């Protein structure tokens, strides 16, 4: 019997008996059940145990049970409890049960969502989600959506479409002539723009010398009074949700000025664009419908799973023109071919869990989820103020910026909080000084989680006071 046949027999047996899948499902359910009581950040011994993975590649194949058991026993304790109620770092959302379950089913399907002919179900759900999102965000009818890994890639795709459109209007076809020698474009954005915007601009051939940086106001918003003259060679980049303060740019006057000048407007709304879908926060996004492109993450505020970024573009043709690849073997369908709207050809079926998240919540549930996150953020700010912490931003969405009495206290307290295992948040710089950055992003966060976390802040601050005295 050949080695190949021996391997085939073993793998077929594992699949037929489905023991490996049931084992993984059992481990996963056990993990979720213990999530509320897990340390929010792994304990030192769990991190040390990861050294067991430093081994030579096995010479012989191993049973799935052996592989999964090691992964669960060593890997699960070394995760951050991102899906629990007391993780407030990096605007990482939780995971809706329907989205998690749909992801499991989609993983069994293991579909390549590049073309309709490769996966009719993935294509259908992408088309449905596109329509739902355009309606939910009240964007121009016919706007296109592409599903990508995250806002970094979504922004890149949008700016490619914007760059190519502006150049075409100025008599230059990038697809035919390339970028070298093209008319010089410029980009206008605030100094509070996210770092991924600069990365995307660099990738598409727009350097620092082509940037006009406008000072943001004290909340991190674009000041319309600082807007330079725009023209048909300008990309204007705005922000729905400052990564630190959560502030929203004043879109209406800025988009109006851009459209009058023939500029392209992109709105980076990684977590904040979802404000559009909530009655109590929709006013923050007034005017975004006048932009040309938007980026947003479903794995953030919506609480779908990692990874699921969304790029939306008013001009479907501009997006397809910027991203389409074609060859004799590529069989385009009569329906939706997802690769037309993204950089990737091989791509997983992100539409499955996105559809499940949107369908399970519905319009009312999305409204309630977003309002709940904002309410918990305000509660966090209120409880910390009561204990004499300084809240440095207007808590308009889900972000809270916190400082102690001195920069040294702030840094020391943050280290204590991160090491506590009770909750976890990140640090940042705000107006040149260290801050503690709270992002309330999970459906699982309760009022008790906030109070428990606030108590951790108080204990950490008191410890910092004593150690620095």
CATH C-level class of 101-358: alpha beta
Query: Which residues contact residue 34 at a Cβ distance below 8 angstroms, ignoring those fewer than 6 apart?
Result: none
Residue 4 reports pLDDT greater than 80: no
Q: Under DSSP, is residue 133 helix (H, G, I), strand (E, B) or coil? A: helix
Cβ burial, residue 439 (10 Å; 0-12/13-18/19+): buried
pLDDT digits over 347-398, tens only?
A: 999 999 999 999 999 999 999 999 999 999 999 999 999 999 999 999 999 9
Residue 42 reports pLDDT greater than 80: yes
DSSP 262-289: T-EEEEE-TTGGGGGGSTTTGGGGTTGG
Contact by Cβ (8 Å): 431, 374: no
347/307 Cα distance (integer angstroms): 11
pLDDT digits over 232-255, tens only?
A: 999 999 999 999 999 999 999 999
pLDDT digits over 321-336, tens only?
A: 999 999 999 999 999 9
Q: What is the pLDDT of residue 2?
A: 54
**Dihedral, CA of residue 232, residue 235, residue 241 and residue 243, to nearest 10:** -160
HSE at residue 406, side-chain half, CA atoms within 13 A, is: 8
Q: How is residue 225 written in tokens? A: 């009074």
For residue 427, report the phi and psi dihedrals to the nearest 5 degrees. -110, 165
435/410 Cα distance (integer angstroms): 6
pLDDT digits over 266-302, tens only?
A: 999 999 999 999 999 999 999 999 999 999 999 999 9
Query: Which residues contact residue 416 at a Cβ distance below 8 angstroms, ignoring those fewer than 6 apart?
Result: 459, 460, 463, 464
Task: Parse the chain into domains and list their residue ranges.
Answer: 34-52+59-79, 101-358, 364-468
* Same topology between domain 101-358 and domain 364-468: no
426/442 Cα distance (integer angstroms): 16
The residue among 247, 249, 241 whose CA lies nearest residue 271 is 241
Q: What is the pLDDT of residue 469?
A: 84
Residue 143 reports pLDDT greater than 80: yes
Which is it for the CA torsion 35, 41, 43, 47, positive or negative? Answer: positive
306/313 Cα distance (integer angstroms): 22
pTM of the model: 0.96
Q: Indicate the CATH number for domain 364-468.
A: 3.90.1150.10
For the chain, give the mean pLDDT.
97
Residue 1 reports pLDDT greater than 50: no
Of the chain, the percentage scoring pLDDT greater than 90 comes to 96
Q: What is the pLDDT of residue 264?
A: 98
Q: What is the pLDDT of residue 10?
A: 87
């Amino acid at each position: 019997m050949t080695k190949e046949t021996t391997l085939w027999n073993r793998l077929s047996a594992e699949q037929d008996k489905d023991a490996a899948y049931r084992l993984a499902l059992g481990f996963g359910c056990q993990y979720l059940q213990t999530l509320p009581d897990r340390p929010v950040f792994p304990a030192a011994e769990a991190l040390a145990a990861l050294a067991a993975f430093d081994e030579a590649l096995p010479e012989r194949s191993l049973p799935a049970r052996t592989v999964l058991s090691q992964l669960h026993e060593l890997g699960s304790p070394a995760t951050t409890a991102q899906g629990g109620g007391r993780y407030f770092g990096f605007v990482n959302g939780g995971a809706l049960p329907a989205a998690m379950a749909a992801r499991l089913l989609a993983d069994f399907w293991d579909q390549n969502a590049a073309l309709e002919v490769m996966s009719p179900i993935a294509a259908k759900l992408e088309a449905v989600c596109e329509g739902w999102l355009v309606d939910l965000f009240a964007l121009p009818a016919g706007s296109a959506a592409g599903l990508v890994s995250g806002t970094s890639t979504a922004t890149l795709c949008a700016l490619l479409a914007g760059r190519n459109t502006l150049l075409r209007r100025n008599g230059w076809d990038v697809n035919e002539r390339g970028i070298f020698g093209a008319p010089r474009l410029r980009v206008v954005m605030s100094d509070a723009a996210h770092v991924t915007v600069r990365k995307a601009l660099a990738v598409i051939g727009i350097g620092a010398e082509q940037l006009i940086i406008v000072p943001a106001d004290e909340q991190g918003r674009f000041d319309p009074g600082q807007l330079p003259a725009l023209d048909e060679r300008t990309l204007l980049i705005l922000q729905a949700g400052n990564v630190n303060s959560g502030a929203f740019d004043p879109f209406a006057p800025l988009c109006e000025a851009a459209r009058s000048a023939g500029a392209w407007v992109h709105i980076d709304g990684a977590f904040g664009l979802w404000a559009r879908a909530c009655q109590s926060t929709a006013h923050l996004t007034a005017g975004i419908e006048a932009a040309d492109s938007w980026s947003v993450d479903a794995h953030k505020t919506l609480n779908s799973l990692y990874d699921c970024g969304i790029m939306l573009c008013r001009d479907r043709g501009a997006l397809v023109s910027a991203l389409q690849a074609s060859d004799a073997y590529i069989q385009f369908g009569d329906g939706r071919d997802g690769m037309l709207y993204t950089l990737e050809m091989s791509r997983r079926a992100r539409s499955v869990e996105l559809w499940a998240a949107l369908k399970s919540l519905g319009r009312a549930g999305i409204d309630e989820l977003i309002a709940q996150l904002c309410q918990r953020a305000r509660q966090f700010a209120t409880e910390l103020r009561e204990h004499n912490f300084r809240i440095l931003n207007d808590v308009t969405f889900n972000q809270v910026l916190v400082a102690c009495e001195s920069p040294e206290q702030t840094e020391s307290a943050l280290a204590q909080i991160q090491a506590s295992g009770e909750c976890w948040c990140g640090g940042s710089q705000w107006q040149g000084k260290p801050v503690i950055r709270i992002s309330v992003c999970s459906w699982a966060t309760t009022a008790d989680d906030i109070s428990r976390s606030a108590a951790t802040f108080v204990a950490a601050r008191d410890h910092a006071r004593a150690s620095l005295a």
